[in-house]
């Protein structure tokens, strides 16, 4: 076992989907030319090593196309030590054809990390139609994972916040028209880990929903949660209250207050009568754009700046929540 070396190697965590596809073509060409020996393994629990994975993948000739992001996600799970014995098996037919488990096996093979799993070796071949009956139900989402892990009715909401905004904000990957494609969607296990590291995110989600429904609706629920989470991290919950109080009832704010400009910016455009007759509808503002405007309005508020209009200049970086120390230094310089 110690003398074994893989036929092919690839740094999975640093490759591209195109390079991975080229790698697969080489492996499959080699596997097709190799004589496959019967697998000497019985149904039951096994520790699958990279050497075993290579042998198993040589029997992978009737499966669907390999999905690189799925292999990558399993690779992260293995390298981070988060593999769990869920009971989801590797499935082989009586003729040793692999029917389910190729993504896990590729992750094992390429990361050189073993994993423990149940293996089923005696499924009827069914002339190649077996795959139509495997994993054809609704997949478990990150929200489902949070709910079953003990989180409450906000589970699907916070899962959306984590994947859509929180992780991308932490990676400085937010953009006005979406998000940087290099930041992959987290797996359900990774979302649970993120929530375990940031329990205050769930607390903020409840706090905003329970106390500021009007402001939450104006911003959009996911935008309101992630924005207030970031504000609370740097400025505390009292400053969150000031911002959301203003957005709830901006008529009480003084003229030129940034939150008034934010409310106006968030209002849907008014269509002309001719536009309505033509069947045109107002296009909603992108969520990431709402987050950017709200962040700029908050930064102007804590800097005590007056704004009559809230704008974004083309090409400017996505705004970050200003830190209290930066505001204090500015005020000190002005004094």
Residue 290's region, left for phi above 0, alpha for psi from -120 to 50, else beta, is: alpha
Contact in structure between 164 and 175 (CB atoms under 8 Å): no
pLDDT tens per residue, range 285-295: 888 899 999 99
| Strand partners of residue 178 | 175
The whole-number pLDDT of residue 173 equals 82
The encoded tokens of residue 268 equal 């849907």
pLDDT tens per residue, range 127-137: 554 555 555 55
Highest mean pLDDT: which of 116-120, 162-166, 285-289, 309-313? 116-120
Enclosing H/E stretch for 247: helix 237-248
Q: Given a cut of 50, is residue 179 above it in pLDDT? A: no
The whole-number pLDDT of residue 180 equals 47
pLDDT band for position 276 (cuts 50, 70, 90): low
Q: Is 308 exposed, middle or buried (0-12, 13-18, 19+ CB in 10 A)?
A: exposed
pLDDT band for position 331 (cuts 50, 70, 90): very low
The whole-number pLDDT of residue 83 equals 87
pTM (predicted TM-score): 0.59
Residue 307's region, left for phi above 0, alpha for psi from -120 to 50, else beta, is: beta
Mean pLDDT computed over every residue of the chain? 83
pLDDT band for position 81 (cuts 50, 70, 90): confident
Contact in structure between 117 and 108 (CB atoms under 8 Å): no
pLDDT tens per residue, range 198-255: 889 989 999 999 999 999 999 999 999 999 999 999 999 999 999 999 999 988 899 9
For 121, half-sphere exposure in the C-beta direction (CA atoms, 13 angstrom radius) is 13
Positive or negative, the Cα torsion across 39, 112, 26, 128? positive
As a whole number of angstroms, the distance between CA 43 and CA 65 comes to 25
């Amino acid at each position: 076992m110690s003398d074994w070396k893989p036929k092919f190697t690839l740094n999975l965590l640093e490759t591209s989907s195109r390079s991975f596809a080229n790698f697969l073509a080489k492996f499959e060409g080699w596997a097709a030319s190799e004589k496959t020996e019967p697998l000497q393994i019985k149904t039951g629990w096994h520790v699958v090593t990279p050497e075993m994975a290579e042998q198993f993948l040589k029997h992978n000739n009737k499966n669907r196309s390999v999905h690189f992001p799925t292999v990558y996600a399993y690779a992260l799970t293995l390298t981070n030590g988060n593999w769990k014995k869920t009971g989801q098996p590797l499935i082989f037919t009586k003729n040793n054809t692999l029917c389910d488990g190729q993504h896990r096996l590729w992750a094992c093979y390429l990361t050189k990390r073993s994993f423990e799993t149940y293996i089923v070796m005696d499924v009827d071949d069914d002339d190649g139609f077996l795959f139509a009956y495997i994993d054809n139900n609704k997949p478990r989402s990150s929200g489902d994972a949070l709910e079953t892990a003990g989180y409450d009715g906000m589970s699907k909401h916070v899962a959306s916040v984590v994947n859509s905004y929180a992780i991308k904000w932490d990676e400085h990957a937010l953009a006005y028209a979406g998000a940087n494609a290099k930041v992959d969607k987290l797996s359900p296990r990774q979302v649970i880990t993120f929530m375990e590291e940031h329990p205050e995110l769930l607390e903020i989600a409840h706090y905003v929903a329970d106390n500021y429904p009007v402001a939450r609706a104006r911003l959009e629920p996911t935008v309101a949660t992630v924005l207030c989470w970031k504000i609370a991290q740097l400025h505390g919950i009292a400053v969150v209250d000031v911002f959301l109080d203003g957005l709830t009832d901006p008529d009480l704010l003084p003229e030129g207050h940034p939150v008034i400009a934010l409310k106006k910016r968030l209002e849907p455009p008014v269509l002309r009568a001719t536009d309505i007759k033509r069947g045109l509808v107002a296009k909603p503002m992108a969520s990431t754009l709402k987050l950017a405007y709200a962040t700029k309005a908050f930064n102007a508020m804590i800097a005590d700046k007056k704004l009559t209009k809230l704008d974004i200049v083309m090409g400017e970086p996505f705004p970050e929540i200003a830190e209290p120390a930066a505001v204090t230094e500015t005020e000190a310089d002005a004094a």
